[in-house]
Amino acid sequence: MESLSKGLTKVEVALKWDPSPHGAPAMDLDLVAAVFTLEDPHGAPAYVVHFDHRAPDGTINLNRDSRTGQGLGFDEIMVLELNRLSEAYGRVAIGVVIQQNGGHRTFADVHQPGIRLREGYDELGPVDFTSLAGATGAVVAEFQRGEEGAWGYRPTVRGYDTELPDFLQLLRGKPEAG
C-alpha cells in the first residue's frame, strides 16, 4: 500500500544576523549542508554544499552568501529540493559556521542570529541560538528519508567549537538510541 504522505519536498533554510558594531571586525557566518547516503547516514558525507561548493546534481542551492550580515532580511538562503535528491541519499544535515578570520569568535559575539526553516509558507520550527553561546559552529536541522521514501524534519541543535574543515566531520552526528 502506498503512503498518502509526500513528506517534505522543497525546503528553504535562511540565516540572518546583524552586522558588527562600527569599528569591530565583520562577522561572517556560513550555511552548510552535508548530504549522506541512505546506506551510511552517519558516515562520510557524499557531498557538502557551502559558500564555495555546489551540489553536483543541482538539488541544493546557496542563493545568497553574505560576509557581513549587512542588508535587509535574511543574509544567506539555501534551498533544498529534497524530492529531487537521488534515492541513494537518506539524510541531510544543516549547519552554521562562524568564519574565524581575525580571532576566535562564538555565537555569543554574533548580534541577533536567526534561522528560518520552511516549506512554502509552513514554518518547520524555530532554532534557538541561546544554548550555542560558546560554539563556533552548530548543527541546526536534519532532514531524513523515511522507510517509504518521504522526507521528514528532525529538530536538532548541537554546538561545537571548531572551524569549517573539522565541522564537516561533526555533521555526521550520531544515531539516536532506541
pLDDT number for residue 171: 78
Domain total of the chain: 1
60 assigned to some structural domain: yes
How is residue 59 written as a grid cell? 538539488
Q: Which CATH number fits the domain that encloses residue 35? A: 2.60.60.30
- The three cell numbers of residue 77 are 538562503
Confidence (pTM): 0.89
The answer as to whether 54 is a domain residue is: yes
Amino acid 3: pLDDT: 46
3-class secondary structure, 172: coil
Q: What pLDDT is recorded for position 174?
A: 63
For residues 123 and 106, is the Cβ–Cβ distance under 8 A? no
Q: Is residue 70 part of a domain?
A: yes
Q: Residues 32-65: pLDDT tens digits?
A: 999 999 999 999 999 999 887 889 999 999 987 6
| Residues of the domain holding 140 | 10-170
- Whether residue 2 lies inside any domain: the answer is no
> Can you point out the beta strands (E) in 42-136?
47-49, 60-64, 76-81, 89-98, 111-119, 122-123
pLDDT below 50 — which residues of the chain? 1-3, 177-178
Evaluate whether residue 5 is within a structural domain.
Answer: no
* Predicted pLDDT of residue 83: 96
> What is the per-residue pLDDT for 48?
92
